[in-house]
Amino acid sequence: MNRLATALLAVALVALTELVVDARPQDTYSDRYDHVDIGVILQNKRLLDGYLRCFLGADDAQCDQMAKEVKAVLPEALPSNCARCTPGQTDAMRQVVRHLAKERPADWRQIQAKHDPAGAYAKANPDLFQ
């Protein structure tokens, strides 16, 4: 293949790739809170208790805005193994689940019973529970 044909093919492939990437729907959750240091929340009993009350509550009365948004996606995020999570959200989810499973197993069981009763997240991530 001559240089011109190779160059044209390369340009066409780049253009096609950009079209395919641009055509993808936005499949991830909002990254608005990806900057939050989850470790700070996990190490602060008062903060963590507040989030747990929100996630386990029947309504959003106990929730700040971030907790409301997390609570809204938990029923989908846990059973789907965080399929629509950004990389930061996936890491945060793993940190939270590992912490709850080890440090607050009764709270983890309640979260799981409410938001992932089939235990799909735990089955997909057995390393978090060892």
Find the CATH number of the domain harbouring 89.
1.10.2080.10
- The structure tokens listed for 41 are 């929340």
Average pLDDT of span 74-96: 94
Residue 91 lies in a domain: yes
Residue 52 lies in a domain: yes
What's the domain count of the chain?
1
Q: What is the pTM of this model?
A: 0.76
Range(s) of the domain holding residue 120: 27-129
Residue 14 lies in a domain: no
Q: What is the pLDDT of residue 111?
A: 93
22 pLDDT above the threshold of 70: no
Residue 3 lies in a domain: no
Residue 78 lies in a domain: yes
Average pLDDT of span 95-102: 95
Q: Which residue type is seen at 77?
A: A
Average pLDDT of span 28-46: 95
